[in-house]
Amino acid sequence: MIYKLINSNVNDKEPEKNVYAYLILLLSIFIIIWNLFGLYNRYLIRNLTGTILLLFLMFLIFSKTKSHLFIFYKSIFYWAAFWLLIGLSFEPFEGGIKKDPSTLSYYLVTSGLAIFCLIAFSVVIDFFKKKKAINLLIENGQNPMIAYLSGSHIVMPILALTGLSSLLNYILINPWLGFLKGLTLTLLAALVTSLFTKNKIFWRS
C-alpha cells in the first residue's frame, strides 16, 4: 500500500480540511500514549475500552474524508486497529505483555501502534509538508544500527572521559530531572546518528 502511494502521482482536486488532519494526528499519537499508560499500569479493561472508543472516533473521521492520501490512511488504519485489538485480546496470556522474553501480544500490539506512528508522521510530512520539523528522526530512522548503539558506544564513553557523566548524575534527585537526563542523552545520541547519516556513514546488519 505504501509502494502504491509513493508511485501513484495522484493530485487530489479536493484536499482535506486541516481539522481532519489535526484530529487524525492527535488521535494517532494519543492511542500510542494511552496504550503505553494503560498497559504499563495494568489498567487492562479501561485501556481496552478507551482504545475501542478512540478507534471508533478515528473511523468516524475517516468516513468523512475522500482524498487519495486519506484513503491510504484509512486502509492502513484498518490494519493498525486489527493488530492492536488482536494484541490486546492476547494480552492476558503468557503473563501479560512483555518485551523480554517477548510475548505474542508484544508483537501484535507494537505492530498496531507502529502503524499509528506511521500515520502520524505521514500527516506531518505528506499533508502539512513539515519534513524539516522531524528531519532528525528521519535521519535516525535511516541509520537504525548507529542510532541503537550511539548512546552506549559513543555518547556515554565521551561523557565519562570528560567527567560530564558525574555531573548528569547529580540531577537525579526527582523523576522530572531524571526524565530531563534521559531526554538529554537521547538527543545527544540522535545528533551523533544524524552526523553519521549526513556523512553517508551507515551500518547495515
Which one of 109, 129, 149 terminates a domain?
129
Same domain, 6 and 34: yes
In the chain, which stretches have pLDDT less than 70?
9-16
Domain-located, residue 178: yes
Which one of 129, 147, 179 terminates a domain?
129
Same domain, 22 and 74: yes
pLDDT at 12: 58
8 Å CB contact between 103 and 93:
yes
Q: Which amino acid is at 177?
A: L
Same domain, 57 and 109: yes
- Measured between alpha carbons, how far is 27 from 31 in angstroms, rounded to an integer? 6
Same domain, 91 and 143: no
pLDDT at 7: 82
pLDDT at 204: 83
Report in angstroms the alpha-carbon separations of 36 from 33, 43, 187. 5, 10, 21
8 Å CB contact between 29 and 16:
no
Report in angstroms the alpha-carbon separations of 128 from 25, 31, 192. 11, 21, 27
pLDDT at 5: 81
Closest CA to 106 of 123, 130, 125, 86: 86
Domain-located, residue 203: no
User: What cell numbers appear for 87 in the block?
Assistant: 494484541
Query: CA angle, corner 55, sides to 50 and 61, nearest 5?
Result: 130
Same domain, 14 and 89: yes
pLDDT at 10: 61
* Number of domain units in the chain: 2
Same domain, 107 and 59: yes
What torsion do the CA atoms of 159, 149, 144, 140 make, to the nearest 10 degrees?
Answer: 0
Which one of 71, 98, 129 terminates a domain?
129
Beta bridge partners of 99: 102
Report DSSP state, residue 195.
H
Residue span of the structural domain in which 185 resides: 137-198
pLDDT at 47: 96
pLDDT at 37: 96
Alpha-helical (H) ranges within 16-174 are 18-40, 44-62, 68-89, 104-122, 135-141, 144-150, 156-162, 164-169
Same domain, 168 and 91: no
Cell 538527543 belongs to residue? 187
- Measured between alpha carbons, how far is 101 from 114 in angstroms, rounded to an integer? 20
Domain-located, residue 8: yes
